Amino acid sequence: MNNQSPITNHQLPITNPSASLKASLQSPETLIGLVSHYSPSGQERGAVEWLVARMKSLGYDDAFIDEAGNAVGVMGTGAKQVVLLGHIDTVPGEIKVEQVGDLLYGRGSVDAKGPLASFVDSVAQVGARDGWQFVVIGAVEEERDSEGARFAATQYKPDFAIIGEPNQWDRISLGYKGSAWAHVTVRRGQVHTASGEETAAEAAVETWLKIKAHADSFNADRQKIFDKILPTLRGMESDSNDFEQWAKLKIGVRLPVEVSTEDWYAKLKELISDSHIQGDCHLERVGFPVPAWKCEKNSQLVRAFLSGIRSQGGEPRFVYKTGTADLNIVAPVWKCPAVVYGPGDSSLDHTPNEHVHLEDYKKAVAALAAALDKLTAPPA
């Protein structure tokens, strides 16, 4: 490939912020440095330490590692608070960090170090504002069980929340679907293969078809993907011994706002408890269920973002995502106006070709800074 500029072990010195801040914010140093520290879930410490040092070098009033292992930077001491929560972990799979023209390749450049780095740079650009406090969090474990966000949810009570995920610099996400996981196991006594009786594997297939039929019925009059139940069969296994045969279904689902995770589990239990498999089918909840969340559209925060995006020549758009994010974890607790924002093409999430346009990153930083400026401006 042409114009390749390898970037390895990128280290940024901690210098006098007053001398280096302006120059630093004119280049994607925060993004490059953060992406250069490979940090799959469970191995975030090096990236966290680097980001804390970076925030100190950019003039944050405080920067530290919290009890959950999150990187936290604080700007200002006012009573009103804006929390900007991104995640610093990535999925596994290290990608060579290199710049090719306007593109920066590397694991996390899109999901979600690009959004997190844009938070860091935007807050540094805005600086402390009278009556306000900005808290930037690089949360750990988002790609697993969101332990960093679960901890942060208990530590802050912000007036506004901004969650970092890639949705393009000129788009604002206002909702993410919920998710829930379950294992359904069907057991049968062993019978002769010539008996014609239904096997455990056959009963499991019938159970899945009932679940799928329920979702199809629910979705029939709903046009938007965000409003539908989306079940997936993630795996199936079966076996037997001298006396018993069994089959297990591994089922995931993406849920709309109107279906809670408890509603879903109750429906699953109902679907598997029909007469012909009564007593032979077991439902097991797996992991942490996550409720769907839809943000308020007509809020001061959304209006600030619309203004910020337009200030950079963009035409802002709203999106609702079929995945889940740390928004689903903190929003039900904080109950404040929230949005999800960040540069990057989410179709590149988790792919071996993950990369971000540096020009889009710079526009995101400028748009977010303008939004924060408008949000925290004193009344006219």
Residues with catalytic function: 89, 142
Tokens 């990369």 belong to residue: 355
Q: Is 318 exposed, middle or buried (0-12, 13-18, 19+ CB in 10 A)?
A: middle
Residue 43's nearest CA partner among 89, 79, 104, 78 is 89
Do the beta carbons of residue 184 and residue 204 sit within 8 Å?
yes
Return the biggest CA–CA distance within the chain.
84
How far apart are the C-alpha atoms of 12 and 283, rounded to whole Å? 51
Q: Residues 6 or more apart from 134 whose CB is under 8 A from it?
A: 74, 75, 76, 81, 82, 84, 123, 126, 372
How far apart are the C-alpha atoms of 199 and 186, rounded to whole Å? 9
Alpha-carbon distances, residue 202 vs 188, 238, 271, 323, 361 (angstroms): 11, 10, 16, 31, 52
Do the beta carbons of residue 105 and residue 355 sit within 8 Å?
yes
How far apart are the C-alpha atoms of 243 and 240, rounded to whole Å? 8
Do the beta carbons of residue 212 and residue 201 sit within 8 Å?
no
